Amino acid sequence: MRPAALAVLPVLIMAGCSPSPQGSGGPAIDVAPATLAGVDLNRPIRALGNEPFWAVTISPEGIIYSGVDRPEQTADNPGPLLQGTTARYEATTGTGKPMSVALIATTCSDGMSDRTYPLTAVVKVDGETLTGCAASVAALATAGESGLVVETAGPTPPAGPPPA
């Protein structure tokens, strides 16, 4: 090789190692698999509780907290921090308040139905600590009024009333 070609070679090698800028058509970034008690944490999850009635939906788009006689609060989803049998989401709501959601790999009963959920949820928001149960949104869509709430194999049924 000629000396000029040898001088350019390290630059070309380093350029191949550089990350491609956003939107440059580079390879897509894969989301690392994250499961807890058989629940895929990269798919939408719903935590819910009663007395008072509340719900938290965690999706790739964000975290939404709602409750009876409470204002809805939203936050970006930072992704779960997995530690043993617990996944934690630490976020800040749109009003600047901290929101924490812990999902724990222990079965849970909501106390109002005969359902058994795969996860226990502890939510801290607006100075309040709420305890309830959680499962994937897909599992909740297909669950009956009793038994274990788990995802079934096959496509998720469409939202809305069942076909006539």
Digit-coded pLDDT (tens) for 26-55: 444 455 678 999 999 999 999 999 988 999
Secondary structure (3-state) at 67: strand
Which of 60-64's residues contact partners 24+ apart within 8 Å by CB, and which partners?
A: 63/89, 63/91, 63/99, 63/101
Residue 56 has pLDDT above 70, yes or no: yes
pLDDT band at 112 (very low <50, low <70, confident <90, very high): confident
Q: What is the mean pLDDT of residues 72-95?
A: 96
SS3 122: strand
CB count within 10 Å of CB 56 equals 26
Task: Confirm whether pTM is higher than 0.85.
Answer: no
The pLDDT of residue 95: 92
Non-local CB neighbours of 104 within 8 Å, separated by 6+ positions: 85, 86, 119, 120, 121, 122
**CA dist., res. 39 & res. 107, Å (int):** 12
Amino acid at 12: L
Report, as an integer, the average pLDDT of 55-62.
97
| CA-CA-CA-CA dihedral for 135, 74, 122, 129, to nearest 10 | -150
Both tokens assigned to 90: 């630490």
